[in-house]
Structure 1
Amino acid sequence: MLIESRASDTSPALILRPWCADDLDALLAAYRDPVLRRWTRVPVTNAAEGRRWLDRTRQDWTDGRRYSLAVLEGATDDPRLVANVVLKGAAPERPAAEVGYWTAVWARGRGIAPRAVTALSRWAFDRFPRLERLDLLHQVDNVASCRVAQKSGYVFQEVLPARPPFPLDGHRHTLTVR
């Protein structure tokens, strides 16, 4: 399964596809970033943790629990990992699901996260016809995620109280089927 976010005059195309074992080195490189590690719950600090993370993403696809996609940029013969997007809690009978993402340090500030979140959102509404709403959640101090939500068409809904594992209140942004 591939999702393509078309290139514009100033930015190359993005390819979203399920993670695979060959992504281990790129995953480890992305997780060397302390900012990424701050906002993610599952640590990936070595090859064993990286393999477990990749195995879990594949098992989640098989189980239909989560759909994690590697986001690649560049030529199809030598693409570079730039982000991860994930659809959580989607099921044929459920009206709502959650979208999450992270962006590699070398790809931040170039509009990759909003493009990838938008592509994932379109795919989710197409794949799950009963899906009516997607939520994007982030801690209140994650200003960059607030901007990504807005640029992706998600509308701020409410402040959520802190709950483990998140120490601070959060924002809930939503995108509804049009």
Structure 2
Amino acid sequence: MIVPTIRGEGVRLRGFAQRDVDDLLAGYGDPAVRRFLPPLPVPFTRAQAESYVSDVAPGMFTHGGGLYAIADPATDRLLGGVGLDKVVPNRGQAELGYWVGPWARGHGVATAAVRALTEHSFHTGMERIELLTHRENVPSQRVALANGFRPEGLRRGVLPNRDGGRDDLLAYARLAGDEPGPVTRLLPDLPGGELTDGVVTLRPLVPGDVDFYTELHSLADVVATTVPPVAPSREEMRRRCDWAQSHWLAGDRADLIIVDTATGTPAGEIGLYYQEARTGQAMIGYSMMPAWRGRGYPTRAAQLVSLWAFAETGIARLIAGALPTNLGSQRVLEKAGFKREAYLRSRLPGNDGRRNDDVQFALLAEDLLRDGARLDG
């Protein structure tokens, strides 16, 4: 059959051809593509690539979906693939998927291709398009949000993996009547990718931080302030690091590493937890390595996060808590401008079935303006 050509911004969607076989092999051999496409055979052979081009891709169109080659409009070189699958005609619904070769990443190819196919599909009668992605696949989530796909939750065990288990996937969807995007995020990216006052630098938590993060959260005094106060496993810390950027995109939390600016050494962590978006209230929490305590770093970090939150998000009120015995943490909050507001009895779970009291502090935007920033540690 003749595959229609769809033109997008900087891309052209067309049918696959034999001239694409070498690039298809290279793309499907890329570790990043294989990681998030478990059904893909490993190794992916030339014979399979040729069959994909001649039979598999064209056959998708006979079932109401379609697989398109993403091509460079100037050279016609294959950049990736995008398609619709799992079409339910009586519901006007389908699932969209895509991949981009490593030679074409970082240039907006996926965003442009998804936008072009999505708009084409709506114009030809589709009413709802879903996009499913692994939580670790942050670039895919960014593509979804950029194209107006709204997060709809988690699909548990929806995709068989290569280990014999099943993977959970995040679900995004866009309806024909939805705005084309981008979706407004509750927690935007940091300006320039980090926050700094010249003494400390805050950068997002990433998968490579797992060793540092595990060590920090295994310290006895850090565990004592964890809710519940139980030392996490390394696997839990790995998931926390792997999923941190996804949580940031979802707008429910922003996890940051506190870095000594002069040496680039990780010194601690601070998190912002946006659990009450409707009321504009978020919470912060922090931990420091023993060698970096007593230098005022958590105070500086708390102020940097607070200034960013009030300036760049809809957060109107920040709260934080400390155990009554944790006078050091209370001093950090007071120096960062937080005001003590309450003493909550038995608020937090403790060890051996006991409950711990919690001293609550809060910071408003006007507090920073009125009192000024005190960064004396």
After superposition, residues 157-172 of structure 1 pair within 5 angstroms as 157-166=152-161, 167-172=166-171
What is the deviation of 1:141?
1.7
What is the deviation of 1:65?
4.3
Contact between 1:69 and 1:84, CA under 8 Å: does it hold in 2? Answer: yes
Which amino acid letter does the alignment assign opposite residue 49 of structure 1?
Answer: Q
TM-score under structure 1 length normalisation:
0.86
Query: 1:68: which partner in 2?
Result: 67
What is the deviation of 1:39?
1.5
Query: 1:122: which partner in 2?
Result: 119
For structure 1, the 5+ residue unaligned runs are 7-12
Query: 2:58: which partner in 1?
Result: 58
What is the deviation of 1:52?
2.1
The higher-RCO structure (CA 8 Å, 6+ apart) is 1
Contact between 1:64 and 1:91, CA under 8 Å: does it hold in 2? Answer: no
> Are 2:32 and 1:32 equivalent residues in the alignment?
no
Distance, in Å, in 2 between the alignment partners of 1:87 and 1:20 is 18
Which amino acid letter does the alignment assign opposite residue 36 of structure 1?
Answer: V
For structure 2, the 5+ residue unaligned runs are 178-377
Which amino acid letter does the alignment assign opposite residue 8 of structure 2?
Answer: S
> Are 2:130 and 1:135 equivalent residues in the alignment?
yes
Comparing 118-127 with 19-28, which one deviates more in the overlay?
Answer: 19-28
Q: CA RMSD in A?
A: 1.7
What is the deviation of 1:89?
2.8
Which amino acid letter does the alignment assign opposite residue 60 of structure 1?
Answer: M
After superposition, residues 60-99 of structure 1 pair within 5 angstroms as 60-61=60-61, 63-75=62-74, 78-90=75-87, 92-99=89-96
Deviations 1:88-110 (A, max 9, x none): 13365332111000111111122
Specify the structure having the higher radius of gyration (Cα).
Answer: 2
Secondary structure of the corresponding residue to residue 130 of structure 2: strand
Contact between 2:160 and 2:167, CA under 8 Å: does it hold in 1? Answer: no
Distance, in Å, in 2 between the alignment partners of 1:156 and 1:49 is 34
Distance, in Å, in 1 between the alignment partners of 2:26 and 2:103 is 10
Distance, in Å, in 2 between the alignment partners of 1:52 and 1:24 is 10
Distance, in Å, in 2 between the alignment partners of 1:155 and 1:170 is 14
